[in-house]
Copies of this chain bind each other. A is one copy, B any other.
Amino acid sequence: MAVTDIDPENASKTGTDLEARLRQIGAERYHDKHPFHALMRDGRLTKGQVQAWALNRYYYQSRIPIKDSVMMSRLIDADLRRIWSQRVVDHDGLPEGGTREGQGGLKKWLHLCEGLGLERDYVISEAGVLPATKFAVDAYVNFVRDKPLLEAIASSLTELFSPGIIRERVTAMLAQYDFVDEDMLIYFKGRMTQAPRDADFALDYVVRHAITPELEDSVCQALVFKTNVLWAQLDALYFAYVEPRLPPPDAFVPED
């Protein structure tokens, strides 16, 4: 849709409503409401369960820059593409030689995994990842490839809600798990500024382009889809590692 199609008057009026609808979806469906997150926050996970979480989440992390590359491949406007490319840099990092602070998010996530006692090569191999994790994450990449661009962009809006869960998670992990220290959690430090910057941009884009009730609905459905992607990953962790604790064949088996 060309920028000239947009009536800024209308956009700003319905935009407020749309933002409220999107925030309501987050309030109801973001994975900070999931029982697995509650266990983590309340200090009730074993080290093995935290390992399983980090290992599976690595698969998600690894596919985020792929998802963002797919998105870039769909952006015809070079300005948009350049803005979006910052996301890939955030995860993949800049050329070698910088400080850990300057590393990409994926390396920082591996640092967390190693700090938790997982073998780096095992994590990278993806051998122990739950199939359900892969199915959910791959569904997200496919969504961004196959859906209308507006919906693809809207599906990133879970980042609106990520500072809250990161704050809860970091506070809880440092307070409640003696096998976690601040250096291990450096990934989250960067995300506290990156996620709001990305979310603000995507929200602005979505509000300006969802100019009919049908498009607004499609944007909301895209966000619901994405909350399902995150939620299903915690369902799978809960099933395999908490209750009934039935990891499928080949999946990571904690020592505890």
Which interface class (under 10, 10 to 19, 20 to 34, 35 or more) fits A?
A: 20 to 34
Contact B244 A228 (CB under 8 A): no
- Check if A81 is an interface residue, CB within 8 A of chain B: no
Contact B135 A231 (CB under 8 A): no
CB neighbours (8 Å) of A246 from chain B are 35, 235, 238
Query: Which B residue sits closest to A247, measured CB to CB?
Result: B235
CB neighbours (8 Å) of A113 from chain B are none
Contact B236 A248 (CB under 8 A): no
CB neighbours (8 Å) of A142 from chain B are 138, 142
Contact A244 B134 (CB under 8 A): no
Given contact pairs A231-B248, A239-B239, A249-B231, A132 touches B132 in the complex (Cβ within 8 A) = yes
Contact with B along A193-220 (1 / 0, CB 8 A): 0000000000000000000000000000
CB of A149, distance to nearest CB on chain B (Å): 20
Contact B231 A131 (CB under 8 A): yes
- Check if A243 is an interface residue, CB within 8 A of chain B: yes
CB neighbours (8 Å) of A64 from chain B are none
* Other contacts beyond A132-B136, A238-B246: 8, CB < 8 A: A35-B246, A131-B231, A134-B139, A135-B232, A231-B249, A232-B236, A235-B240, A243-B244
